[in-house]
Amino acid sequence: MSILDGRTGLKKVIDEVAEVTGYLWQKGWAERNGGNITVNVTEFADESWATMPAIAPKKNIGMVLPNLKGKYFYAKGTGKRMRDLARYPMQNGSIIRICDDCASYEIIADEPVMPTSELPSHLALQDYLLGSGSTYKATLHTHPIELVAMSHIQRFLKGDEMTRVLWSMIPETLAFAPLGIGIVPYGLPGSVELAEATLEQIKTHDVVLWEKHGTVAVGTDIMDAFDQTDVLCKAANIYMCAKSMGSEPDGMTDEAMKEVQDVFNLPKTRPC
């Protein structure tokens, strides 16, 4: 018996996760077991969830996250492939419950699939989102080829240079990613330090780029987080296609970009 049985809302969320993981694989953003997903599913919990026994030993998160007490998340399993999760989401991910100490978690369904090794980064973001009153519930880490490639060029790691270039490639990038992309210098995957640096950048950007590694995005649901990443990666692809023709792309002028910002009344800070 699955925790999804009879819970149409929860099943819809998990089905959407499976759909997005298929897109990640098709785009080449999820080689082998690359990438991770976490979604807050607390809204679907009933009283029975609180008494469900753990099906694996309790694990420490590595930090105290006070806003997550008693919350529930679907998390992709460590070592699991996105292409497999697309077909069998509850065999390649699990539902976890955050313990009362706010520093550990336990798996309650469906199988003892240990969550991603980057769970601290995901849960730190979820703690921030809940604490700030945000409606965002999903976090996505993936490996968009063009954006990772740009992070190998020092020019794009300085200030807001990458954001400026990506915005200038096509008006929709500025319209749909008005806060741009934040840069986190290379750090050990799964480390608390990487989680803390990511948290600082996501407060003021649409997407965070881990240097020479991948991106992290948050959204109202997993499709929204995917779209944020996709928009910026499309701009990076346009930049590379134009540059492959032999010269540095002109891009939109500052005046043209300001016009887009003014006409669409784009936010300068992250909305809740």
Give catalytic residues, as residue numbers. 118
User: What's at 27, amino acid-wise?
Assistant: K
CA dist 121 to 25, 81, 129, 141, 234, Å? 22, 19, 12, 10, 25
What would the two tokens of residue 189 be?
């995957």
C-alpha 45 chain-centroid distance: 23
The three-state secondary structure class of 57 is coil
3-class SS string, 120-165: HHHHHHHHHHHHCCCCCCEEEEECCHHHHHHCCCHHHHCCCHHHHH
The three-state secondary structure class of 259 is helix
